[in-house]
Structure 1
Amino acid sequence: MDRGLSAAQRLEEFRRSLGEDADGLGELPEIGGEFHGRSRDGLVDVTVADGRVVAVTATLTPADHAATELGDHLMTAANNALAAARAAVPVVADPVPDLDALMSRLSEAGEQSSRFMRQVGTALEEVIAKVGPRTGMHGDPAPTGVDALFADAASALRTARDSLAGLAGPQITTSGSDEDHEVWVTIGVDGTVTKVEFSSPVASMTGRQFADRSRQALGAALGEWITKRREQQAPAAGLDPAGLTAQADALRRQSVAQLQEYTGKLKSIMGSIGEP
């Protein structure tokens, strides 16, 4: 199943590298069109190229690790590789980001930012009140536009969510194994590897056997996931990519202008300070 993997199957293996690595080293740079993902300590490495998983390598001895630990290594490496490839070369079968979750995080960030900016303004007002009469320091340090900026960002996210609703795709979960049914991989609804299981003792495998069977299982599970998703993909009604892009560009310009305006206010206040 090495060279015979379909694009869908290889992309499935690719998605397995979407896992997280605590030290930030799970995703490696693109080299010659290949994307690499590795587990902690670099014990398992997954390589993706042209939308396919082309290699799985393991610099470990399966007998030295528990099955759950081996599964975690494989899941992390595969998901990290998929994350790197998906970011660089997105395809239509990729899951749409969870915009509802982003909206929730944006709301929290907006509340924290507004609270912090108000604290900054209040602190500067107190400073002006104390030293203003002696130094001439004056000005209005109250932040402006922060709440409106986050409100516009939330509006943009809602528009994107509603427009992309048809691309969210069906809720598909698939499983696949190697040809000997020794390694089983499950792909969740978000297209990432959510479970790795072994139907026979992993300790009896060599490192090469573990890598080869893992590659086959990744390809089978992800291939089925991609195939089913494409078959059931619903068209996005009313999708306006140009409009979404324009809204995002406007929001970016607005955020920069708002920051520049407030920075200018603070500089003006500092510039008003004279000799005591």
Structure 2
Amino acid sequence: LSSSAPFVAVMDADLQHDETLLPKMLAALKAGDRDLAVASRRTEGGAIGEGLSSIRAAGSNLANALAQRLLKVTLTDPMSGFFMLRRPIVDELAPKLSVQGFKILLDIVASGQGRLRIVEFPFVFRERREGKSKLDALVTFDYLGLLVSKYFGDLVSVRFLMFALVGASGVLVHLLALRGSMIGLGLDFNVAQTLATFVAMTTNFALNNRLTYRDRRLTGLAMLRGLLTFYAVCSVGVLANVGVANMIYQSEPVWWLAGTAGAAMGAVWNYAASSVLTWRRP
């Protein structure tokens, strides 16, 4: 978005990509019948070469298969980080793109919903010469979140999916802490429930700070302030949860419907409020 050029190329800086393809990609776009040119390791004539270990190659194959099957992407290599496109396409699709994740090509193609005219160029993925891979478990979670978000038509953001996943893990933490407090510490239920609630909120905060909001990660005193605001936000979320669940149950006494609606209301409140109060943008 910062470029004023009519065409924009994306490639890695670790020298694994074949820079000699750039003129060919540009020529294809200038011809006027293509919107996006992709350098592919998987089309005829392309190869992974020495660029990926056997484990990472297997992971890349799985990621490609998921993208092609779930999002109906026809690219041979949707995981490619080397492509060129018309600048107006960037302007058009930017509002639909995820603010998280690292596979922007897949995001662009999925957001284009089959309207982009694409041409692929084969290339051999070279061995990394500079830098280190950023691939880790957090990136994997981001990718899975992107798949789910695009599969459901961007109805929910990747960040909200991460937040909800952390919240679901908090239920397990809560139950374990509750059981441990009652048996291991000999506390009565009410005290153990209160302690388990704070344990779950603390672990949720830590995971969200590490995973969901890692681009706004809090440290030092800011992390302590963030934890306190997260406690406050989640406390109000409990009230919202119970209030909505009770209101629905009074009009329609179906326990699972009321419980689900209350949990959803609590999750939405916690996400919205913590985004503004706990992990607010600098």
Same fold (TM over 0.5): no
Q: Greater strand share, 1 or 2?
A: 1
The structure with higher relative contact order (CA 8 Å, sep 6+) is 1
TM normalised by structure 1 equals 0.25
Structure with max Cα Rg: 1
